[in-house]
Structure 1
Amino acid sequence: MLEPFLRDMDLADYRDGIAKGVVAVGRFTGCAFTEDDLARLATAGIGFAILPLLEELHPEPRQPDGSRTYPGNGPLGPDTDALADLPPERLRELAWWTASRTVEHAGLHTDPEVIASIAARALTPEVERRVRRSAIGDRDQHWAWATVHRASNPDPLAAAIGALDTARFAHGPDAADFIGSAREHFSVP
């Protein structure tokens, strides 16, 4: 059924995915995006980014005894497994502590929307928009926004692991110091 829209495209080659998508959509709709369309956008100086949806957050898979299904890896290395022994509220505290420290590191901690999200331990509509926007265009603060998003995971263990994991990227060369302070603050091995 899709073959007519994908004909002559090398889908095994990962390159030029956006261009292949534009061609497929043009074939499907019968309205191709032309050089004239691109020139008109450039002349008008207007373009509207379509914000991607938030990454779906999943629970951390666990064994019946509560241990992690896939042990031995994570932001704390093998010690990540010890997080499964912490109570849910302590995990939630770790996730939002991580988000708070990360937005401070990124210089976002004085923003009223960020303050509201951290205090509520949930994404405000504006912070959700910023998380989505960070996935495209200017990605300077992407990992800080991703950390706030991951902290909002309904599963406390996944929230803690996910927030710590993305925070490492947000902290860049200071990641080891940040992880060390998280270990010390939360008495994680």
Structure 2
Amino acid sequence: MTEQSTTGRMTRRGVLGAFAATAIVATPTFSKAAGFLRGGGDIRRLRMTSPRTGERIDTIYWIEGDYIKDALKEISLFMRDWRTNDVKDIDLRTIDILAASHNLLDVQEPYMLLSGYRTAKTNTMLRSRSRGVAKNSRHLKGEAADLRLSSRSVNQMYRAALACRGGGVGKYSRSNFVHMDCGPVRSWGG
């Protein structure tokens, strides 16, 4: 696995830019798109399914500048370590990256969540099975997700996540998923 690093951390401007781009694309006939972005109905939504638990989530977690606490709790529960049922608060930056990249892909299909939060025990077990699992994975901190879409390629998902410039993006073509996290901006994979 090769890694290309760029300096910098996720910027609010980068993620907001991704949301702004999708809002403008989503409202091409709205003559005052800038007004729309300043609060005339600005929302953030996250849609995912879990093949491991059979659960689905479709929630608006942010409205006009305010995060919705109950929705965030629902997202954290959904993204729990399904092997142990342990829950950790998912980092807001990660949630924003997932939602922004999904918007850029312009799909109605929910993400398929392969892995969200992981306990140390789960991460150690996965490391024993694969060289691609980091010892200090961002999954351990609730800062990462591994995702798949059937209607978009790994390359399309990878490019959408990169466009957010919000954190780490890994492309796992052989396993058909993309890793997204809120760590330093960097990319890897093949």
The TM-score with structure 1 as length reference comes to 0.28
Report which of the two has the higher share of helix: 1
| Relative contact order, higher structure (CA 8 A, sep 6+) | 2
The structure number with the bigger radius of gyration is 1
